[in-house]
Amino acid sequence: MPKPTAASRRSPFGSRLLGPRDQPPRRMRIRIQVLLTVLLVSTNLIGAFVVFVVNTWAIPSPPPNRSMVIALAIGIPTYVLAAAAVGATWGTFTSLRALRWATQPDIDPDRSQRARALRVPFALTTMQLLLWVVGTVLFTLLTVLLQPSRALGTGLTVGIGAVVVAGISYLLTEFSLRPIAARALSDVRVTGRLRGVGVGPRMAIFWTLGTGAPIVGLMIAAILALTPSGDDATLQDLAIVTIIVCSIVLVFGFLLTDLNARSVVAPLLSVRDAMRAVESGHLEADIVVYDGTELGQLQSGFNDMVTGLQERELIRDLFGRHVGQEVAAAAAALGAGEIELGGEARECSVLFVDLVGSTTYATEHGPTEVVAVLNRFFGVVVDEVDRHRGLVNKFMGDAVLAIFGAPVEHPDHAAAALAAARAMADRLAVEVPEVGAGIGIATGQVVAGNVGHEQRFEYTVIGDAVNSASRLTDLAKDVPGCVLASWLSVEAARATASPEAEHWVRHGETMLRGRSTPTPLAVPGEAIR
């Protein structure tokens, strides 16, 4: 499972107000409840105050009479408090019923529970809008009874306020419930049908609420000023109306635009930060998916991409462990469709190492001890071959075949093979004293490439140098230091002016099986001193 990045750990839901990803369910429930209560109550109170200001001073209609002032002074606080109490009770009951699973640990929600949780912002917004619609009807009727000349302005003002407050409430509710949405969308790919208002429709809706609705209010105010009931409106009155309405457009338009922008930008920033982490090599990057729209699809798609990268990296690592990192890199560079059977002639140095007395050791010790010794032996061999830029090509029981100079060119392959053999012998004597090992090195022309079948092949080397190294390994078990090389390898190292050649001395010659001429031999100088 991917791990979160540092940025996502600080604010996984786009804001530190929403807490960390792994917060306890009880703390998350309290945090969300407090946020929802404070934000929604504040929004409604401010909305009610703005509607009162607009209705009193920004509508070109007769000033409220004494009866109207008394009714508003009593009715507005009473209704606001009653609506807040009803809204809090209704909203809490509805939300807790839909979100009960999300505030309890170790509960795996089903599809219907996830869907209900994602619909909570719509449910709470609908509740807010309904309460405002009821208020619009009540205050319009009250105005009709007490001062009919103000009824139209009151109805339109409160109605427009209801729409704007509902829009802000939706954004704030969706923001507060991001941790719940994240749990509802966890382990679910956000694809196909959107689980919310898409980015395009959201932009259009909130432009309408933040800019369109107030502008409509300004137009209505102008129309009312032109009606017979507005004949007494002076130029100063129209200026006051314009200033108040424009101020409301600026404030509420900016607020809605800012909230809407934050709801869009926060998911994009999470993807941007995670992409930077992946670019730096941190494939454990992870994003909390808390949006059911196209933005959530982007977040979910990023997580799918990272999972794919992790799987590919795992396969590449496993492939490299089986065939060698250089062979794996060469194969990846070619691509699956370009890898062919066959090989090419290369001059390489081949190192062959084989344990001495491993069969006897295996009969006298348990399997666990034998495996432990083999692993220490292979560990030393692989470490030294890698350190000298060679390729461990095959594990053959208790023997290892290593290549220097293929598949990647090595300008000093002979010196590298000789140095690896000496270092290997020194370490094996200290780190694997239970058994001995013979090491043979030969240099010459080989054919390196892929052999097998199109559906299953391996990279290997074939040639006289491979055969020579294998036979030298058997002879090396009986020489001091257990390391034996062909003198040709030493000469090849000397030809590149490598100081490694100075560590080797002649050690006679021998007739290798299958050869028609003797092979000059060499051993490390320190082995015969």
C-alpha distances (whole Å) from 44 to each of 48, 74, 417, 525 are 6, 18, 80, 92
Contact 182, 288 (CB under 8 A): yes
**Distance in angstroms (rounded) separating the CA atoms of residues 84 and 260:** 25
**Distance in angstroms (rounded) separating the CA atoms of residues 296 and 287:** 10
pLDDT at residue 1, as a whole number: 45
Query: Rg of the chain over CA atoms, in angstroms?
Result: 40
- In the chain, where the domains are located: 6-307, 339-527
pLDDT at residue 2, as a whole number: 47
Whether omega before 60 lies within 30 degrees of 0, making that bond cis, reads no
**Residues in a beta bridge with 354:** 399, 438
**Distance in angstroms (rounded) separating the CA atoms of residues 390 and 407:** 9
What is the torsion angle, in degrees rounded to the nearest 10, for the CA atoms of residue 50, residue 56, residue 59 and residue 63? 180
**Distance in angstroms (rounded) separating the CA atoms of residues 258 and 251:** 10
User: How many C-beta atoms lie closer than 10 Å to residue 334's C-beta?
Assistant: 11
Q: What is the pLDDT of residues 226-283, one digit of tens each?
A: 665 544 556 666 666 667 667 766 777 777 777 777 777 878 888 888 888 888 878 7
User: Rounded mean pLDDT of the chain?
Assistant: 78
Contact 238, 60 (CB under 8 A): yes
pLDDT at residue 132, as a whole number: 85
Contact 509, 517 (CB under 8 A): no
User: In this structure, are strands 436-453 and 483-486 parallel, antiparallel, or unpaired?
Assistant: parallel
Which CATH superfamily groups domain 339-527?
Nucleotide cyclase, GGDEF domain (3.30.70.1230)
pLDDT at residue 337, as a whole number: 46
The ranges of the chain with pLDDT < 50 are 1-2, 5-7, 191, 194, 230-231, 334, 336-339
**Distance in angstroms (rounded) separating the CA atoms of residues 326 and 62:** 88
